[in-house]
Amino acid sequence: MMSSENRSDFSASCSSITEEARAKINLALHVTGQRPDGYHLLDMLVTFADHGDRLDFMRSPTDELTLSGRFGEVLAGDGGTNLVLKSRDLLRQAIGTVAFPVRIHLEKNLPVASGIGGGSADAAATLRGLMRLWGTTLSAETLAALALKLGADVPMCLESRPLIARGIGEKIEAVPDLPAFAMVLANPLKGVSTPEVFRRLATKNNPALSLAPSPPQTADWLAAIAAARNDLEPPARELVPEIAVISAMLEAHGALLTRMSGSGATCFGIFATMTAAEGAAAALHDERPGWYFQATETVSGGA
């Protein structure tokens, strides 16, 4: 059963477990090949925002999912909460013993199908939250395999810290030296079909991501990221011309570096300070009140 409601009503009524589902940001995404099953081989430098969805979990007489947040209605309409429910069902199946019914509340703050991993982050948060609520643990390997079944980005969302991911996203290596960045996330609220973006790629065998050795200063990291790419950005721009517009708007408001994340349409701008990022987000919102602009600080690798 799904319904929209105010999250504070939910939290006030009983004690619950909370998990953050942080936005995933692809600082770089190189498409380096394609597997025989059609999935693409990627090299990705990934970080996470201090902004995202929020999920609450509690014991309940029956299984239930409720929604709130700016984008909650979008999910209520099209069944896009699938990944939360799939994660619950898959974990229940994996632990084998009786797992009592749960009420899950999803505060959907991230735009849907937008390249910042909202659905994948929700899936990872559901696995984490329900393991806590049901008092169960799985081996790291079993958990990673479950996560990968739910989507290529779910294993990295389980980590929620700076990392390099290879393969289709399952080969993960922490990047402890990555600094925090002051960022604005920007989306024209046009959904992009990920398979369609991949289909439009001009070439699938692009140069790998090369970042070694780890740059010591933020400015060096910025130069290294600027020298990398998101290979999905050109085909996504063909599908959604607003990506070029929003990217130019971020630059006009002082972003040091702008790029699209994932298969789009969310773009990020990196700013010199959080004050600059917050000022830019407010000004951008005034220019295009219907679009999504969010200032956020990303997590640092050493945190």
Buried b (16+ CB within 10 A) or exposed e, 11-20: eeeeebbbbb
Q: Please state, in angstroms and rounded to a whole number, the distance separating the CA atoms of residues 123 and 198.
A: 23
Residue 19 interacts with ligand C5P (CB under 6 A)?
no
Residue 232 interacts with ligand C5P (CB under 6 A)?
no
CB of 160 to ligand C5P, least distance (A): 17
In this structure, are residues 279 and 301 in contact, taking their beta carbons and an 8 Å threshold?
no
Q: Please state, in angstroms and rounded to a whole number, the distance separating the CA atoms of residues 101 and 94.
A: 15
CB of 151 to ligand C5P, least distance (A): 4
Q: Please state, in angstroms and rounded to a whole number, the distance separating the CA atoms of residues 113 and 263.
A: 9
Does residue 286 have an active-site annotation?
Answer: no
The window from 64-72, 94-102, 124-132, 148-156 that contacts ligand C5P (CB under 6 A) reads 148-156
Does residue 153 have an active-site annotation?
Answer: yes
Nearest to 264 by CA among 192, 189, 184: 192
The window from 13-21, 176-184, 192-200, 247-255 that contacts ligand C5P (CB under 6 A) reads 192-200
Task: List the one residue from 32, 82, 194, 206 that touches ligand C5P (CB under 6 A).
Answer: 194
Catalytic residue selected from 43, 153, 190, 231: 153
Identify which of residues 152 and 222 has a Cβ nearer to ligand C5P in the complex.
152
Q: From residue 138, how far is each of 9, 103, 235 by CA, in Å?
A: 32, 22, 39
Identify which of residues 154 and 276 has a Cβ nearer to ligand C5P in the complex.
154
β-partners of residue 183 are 270, 296
Enumerate the known binding-site residues for ATP: 111-121
Residues that bind ligand C5P (CB under 6 A): 39-40, 42, 151-153, 168-169, 194-195, 198
Q: Which residues does the annotation mark as catalytic?
A: 24, 153
